[in-house]
Amino acid sequence: MWRGAVLALAAGGTAALASSPGQPLDCSDWVVLDPQFRCVAVNSDCHDPNLPGTRPSCTFTSEARVLDNEGNMLRVDMVLLPELCGSGRLNRTRLWISDGHSERLLAYIDDRCADSVSWQVDALIVDANHVQSGERAIAFDRTKGRLLLLAHSVCRGSCSAYDTVSRLLAFEGFATLFEIMQTYTPSPPAFGFTVPYMPEGLERADSFDTYYGSLTKPLDLSRAQPLQCAYGAGSNVGDRLTFPDTAPDPAPGEAVYFLTAVTFGTERRIGRSATGGRLAGRDPSALPRCPVPSVEP
């Protein structure tokens, strides 16, 4: 599904840096082992869902283990590290993914020794109030394809550096329910997406076509240009499809949109658009053929 526009504007950036010792742990402190996934803070000021005053955006129905849209099992556990801080040992919180045959580590975060003399530890607890068989509770957002964790950053030991900071974290990059969510990697410039479960509501996809065009209102799909045609045949739910960005850079002050059409049998869909606040499926016949046939002089 086309979700607004992916703007092809020049931008610079650096890798996320970890938080400072003596400060609450956050997404920048997680070590994510698969580049397909990333940690983002959905809400940076949550309260425990079992206590009064909980904000609705920070609550969810939690389970000890959850399944993603591909049927993979996701779980979180905690183990002791050999390192000491003062007289206490540090913990490592781990996020695992399993397809039923093998399990691999997706991400982890370690407690941090902020001051070994005074035994000050920056620690993370993932939803400590829902402990079952030593595993922490998590939840999966099937529509957006993301894993939700309610994480509490606490100061342990002989310290009072900060009060408990609770954040609702999300690990993004899992297959979504129906939507084709386009992503962009600046170096090397490439586009891609994770094949969703039932793309655009179809049983599966025979192929995908990706277009780009000038960002106008309304969009003139008849002037869209093919970027990548008839790819992804035989792909499965959760596969990561990527292709190079060969679209020309937009002029200063202009922007470019990208959208992906999905074909299954005789059906072709290109997401939805809103008119007067009402969603409706886009008309795929408005798009040029992919690839556009050459015009004889």
Provide the CB-side half-sphere exposure for 136 (13 A, CA). 22
Residue type, 135: E
What one-character-per-residue DSSP string does 195-242 give? PPSSGGGSS--SEEEEEEEE--SS--GGG-EEEEEEE-TT--TT-EEE
- Contacts of residues 247-255 at CB distance under 8 Å and 24 or more positions apart, as own/partner, are 247/8, 247/212, 249/8, 249/10, 250/8, 250/9, 250/214, 254/214, 254/215, 255/5, 255/7, 255/8, 255/9, 255/214, 255/215
pLDDT band, residue 44 (cuts 50/70/90) = low
Closest by Cα among 123, 107, 116 to 23: 123
Q: Write the pLDDT tens digit of every residue in 92-136.
A: 999 999 988 899 999 999 999 988 877 788 888 886 554 444 455
Look up residue 138 and give its DSSP letter: B
Phi and psi dihedrals of 227, rounded to 5?
Answer: -110, -45
pTM of the model: 0.69
Q: Write the pLDDT tens digit of every residue in 161-219.
A: 777 788 888 999 888 888 888 888 888 889 889 899 889 989 899 999 999 998 887 78
Provide the CB-side half-sphere exposure for 197 (13 A, CA). 13
Provide the CB-side half-sphere exposure for 214 (13 A, CA). 10
Mean pLDDT of 280-294: 81
Mean pLDDT of 19-48: 84
Closest by Cα among 133, 139, 163 to 49: 139
pLDDT at 12 exceeding the cut of 60: no
Distance CA 100, CA 73 (A): 7
Q: What pairs with residue 164 in β-bridges? A: none
What one-character-per-residue DSSP string does 99-114 give? -SS-EEEEEEEE-EEE
Of 86-95, 105-114, 151-160, 262-271, the one with minimum mean pLDDT is 151-160
Whose structure tokens read 């079992």? 50
How many percent of the chain have pLDDT more than 90?
27
Angle (CA) 91 95 101, round 5°: 130
Q: Across all residues in the chain, what is the average pLDDT?
A: 80
Distance CA 284, CA 221 (A): 9
